[in-house]
Amino acid sequence: MSRITDIVRFWRASPRQPGSLLLASATLAIGVAALAGAFTLMEAVLLRPPPWPNHANVAVYGGRTADDPMRAASPSLYDMVGSPESVRSRGAARMPEAMNVVYGRHRGLLRTQRVDVGFLPTLGIVPALGERVPSRMGGAEVMVSNALWHRWFDADAMAVGRVLLVDGQPMRISGVLPADYRFFADVDLILPLVLPSNTTDRVENMTAVALLAPGSITAFSESVMDTVGRNAARLHLEPADTRWYGATPLDTLTAPGARATIWLCVGCALLVLIVAAMNVSNLMLTRALDRTQETSLLFALGATGWRPWIPALSAAVVTALLAAVIGMPVGALLVMAFRPLVPDSWLASAGPLAPGSGVLVAVLVSVLLAALLATGSAVAHQHFATTGYPAPAFAPRRVYSAMALVQTALATLLLCVSTAAALRWWRLDQLPLGFDHANALVMEVRAPPAWYAGREATERLATSLRAKALRLPGVETMGWSTQLPVGDGFVMPFLRPGGAVVRLQYAVVTPGALESLGLEKTRGRWLEDGDRGDSERVVVVNQAYLEQVDGYGVGGMVRPASGRHAARIVGVVANTPLAGVSAEAEPAVFVPLAQIDHLSFATVRQWTSMYAVLRGPSVGPATGDAFARIVQDMAPSLAPANARALDQVAQMAYAEPRRDAVLLSSFAGFALALACVGHYSVQAVEVISRRRMFALRGALGATPAALMAQVLRRALVWALPGVAAGLLAALAAHRWLFVTDTALGMSDPWVFATVVPMMTVATIAAVLLPAWRAAAVEPWRVLRSD
């Protein structure tokens, strides 16, 4: 019989005994699914090349802050830097903004971005269809995203040349963006941006990119710093601020804050795979024990080399392949389930978050390696059993138990990590949000300057809509705000009492807005209808303003850095988690729409939408529909969008701790399930191999409860040191285990108080069946057959 015949014999025999093969494959498939999910995330976020062909030689330049590595540039700075010798091409893109877009029956408030003529060529973007925008200077043209092209035009190639109404302006479609294009945010339309030369616009609302000669990034960065240094006065910068200016390679800016979490996920997935491999190892060992006689016979008949190990190795390969077939689709489903938890800022590409060929190869190699390592113990046992080496009498049993111990330790470690993340989520969830998010609904509306040229026109629209909204059934209060209690807002420079500049969250609101947002007033009064343009200028500030900027409180003055009108503080509201519950509260000012100066209003409206906020005991989706109809009736060109309950907005505050807790708990769940399978298999084998002992104890008077207790005790004896080892590992690792920028409290006594009982109960539950089998052994049958 040849080696080939051995393999064929194994393959023919496997379907006749599918149970153990399927069990091993299903067990390993859990590890494959976890690994496929983590690898897919890693590949999409960290490894996949960004969708900008020139990315390796592109730098982003301008200023940055201590917290955010992304640089921003003002039109003025962009103009000053110009095109030094090392720059092959350059371009700029404004921050994305919302616009009312109409095409035939389609109408929506879409995300758009204005880019100058050099932006897309600098990145190396080639349109999927048509031409880049702007294809000619001054042309009223747009490029549509691939997604919008499919959604509104059914991927019709004839879409190029058609005309959209963008904020009421007819604009011709010049081309379609590639399917994977995105530049740090999803946009539906790319519009042309014309930057005047010698501009004095110092608002840093653009991303400037430069295609550089290889190796010239440092020189370019110094040149930017130089330019800023020379023009600090023109740019209104303090000399100390110039150090934050320079250039950063584009590649280093992708996936900010994602690395730690993704590496943690990959680490957890590898641990899950190891635990799965250990279980498979136990199963393989059981099969090897069954084959000992056959292997011995092969040796006795003169077999040499690796031929006697063919069945074990074939089993490893088949198990790995089957596990990959089962685990990969499960991994893909996991990724789909977790997709909503992945922040958009992590993804450089708009391509789908799905396992690619690279992930497939990596998973296949990993699982094959894991299966072969799992086979190691089986081969080693057969080696001992057949070559005359003195194997310890209870070696297989010790190997089983040691593996259960290691599995328990790994599961405990993962459970500690996930429990710490869950506790952190729970604790943050207990913190007051600072606003009542029940019974309120928000809807985004953008009134473009083309139709509502000045502040007064917008105010008239807002007032009319508010009056009609208040007549809707169930609506008690209604107002407009440019800022929601959670999420990014507009930042404006103000002056501290000492004269230093401080950037504050800046919200423009109408009367009724703060009450409708459910903000908690701690002092003073709300903004009222009487706060008109011709009355004293007033603002409401939040508690963080008092703590971080000026503690004077009601009656104090708020002074814009621009030197324009100061305003008196008439009320104070509680802080809300603008940047999420885990971030420090940011100081904010709320300015009445009726009192904002025209220049500030023009700046704010360019970057932010207005949010209609309706509150009342029966406010719901029907109220949103009714309000949308009112808007349509009064301003048919506006496209109200993103209607959602304020509850949903509040949930955004927990996005980061919830993501960490859910991701890590999933891995811990896998590991715990596998550890339970491990304990079950160890004790099941133990009970079978020690049936005679259990029968004898039964014959000598051990009660069924005593026999059960013996199995449970034995399982716990092996599990508890594993739990202790896992806790020690968690304690040792807690300094390194960071999720985003917040350390998990691994040394928290509650982690231990939760994990130890959980592991104990899980172990007991896992071995209940074998324990019951031990108790059900009928002594006289076993001893008689003996």
Give the residues lining the site for other proteins (CB under 8 A): 394, 692-693, 696-706, 778-780, 783-784, 786
Provide DSSP, 655-678.
HHHHHHHHHHHHHHHHHHHHHHHH
Closer residue to other proteins (CB): 185 or 705: 705
Q: How far is the CB of 783 from other proteins (least distance, A)?
A: 6
SS3 category, 343: coil
* 441-472 as b/e: b if 16+ CB within 10 A: bbbbbbbbeeebeebeebbebbbebbebbeeb
Closer by beta carbon to other proteins, 66 or else 393: 393
Q: Which helix (H) or strand (E) holds 115?
A: strand 106-115
Nearer to other proteins, 559 or 692 (CB): 692
Q: In angstroms, what is the minimal distance from the CB of 712 to other proteins?
A: 16
Nearer to other proteins, 250 or 707 (CB): 707
Q: Which tokens in the block code for residue 287?
A: 């099969």
Q: Supply the minimum distance, in Å, between the C-beta of residue 762 and other proteins.
A: 27
Q: How far is the CB of 340 from other proteins (least distance, A)?
A: 54
Closer to other proteins by Cβ: residue 391 or 743: 391
Which residue number, 601 or 718, has a Cβ lying nearer to other proteins?
Answer: 718
Which C-beta is closer to other proteins: that of 354 or that of 706?
706
Nearest-CA neighbor of 488 among 596, 602, 577? 577
For residue 188, the SS3 value is coil
Nearer to other proteins (CB atom), residue 705 or residue 717 = 705
Given a contact cutoff of 8 angstroms between Cβ atoms, the answer to whether 176 and 127 are in contact is yes
Residues 737 and 734: their CA atoms lie apart, in Å, by 5
Structure tokens belonging to residue 264: 């943690």
Q: Exposed/middle/buried for 436, CB within 10 Å: 0-12, 13-18, 19+?
A: middle
Chain centroid to CA 701: 59
CB of 774 to other proteins, least distance (A): 13
CA distance 700 to 693: 10
Is residue 562 within 8 A of residue 493, CB to CB? The reply is yes
Closer CB to other proteins, 376 or 779, in the complex: 779
Q: Which of 590, 610, 625 is nearest to 458 (CA)?
A: 610
CB of 685 to other proteins, least distance (A): 16
Residue 707: CB minimum distance to other proteins, A: 9
User: What are the DSSP calls for 542-593, one per residue?
Assistant: EHHHHHHT-TT-TT-EEEETT----EEEEEEE----TT-TTSPP--EEEEEG
Shortest reach from residue 288's CB to other proteins, in Å: 22
For residue 71, the Cα-to-chain-centroid distance in whole angstroms is: 22
262's tokens: 């993704």
Q: Supply the minimum distance, in Å, between the C-beta of residue 698 and other proteins.
A: 7
Using CA atoms, how far apart are residues 92 and 452, in angstroms rounded to an integer?
A: 27
Q: What torsion do the CA atoms of 768, 770, 771, 773 make, to the nearest 10 degrees? A: 120
Residue number with CB closer to other proteins (260 or 391): 391
- Give dist(CA 341, CA 265) in Å, integer: 13
Which residue, 658 or 697, is less far from other proteins as judged by CB? 697
Query: Min. distance of Cβ 704 from other proteins in angstroms?
Result: 5
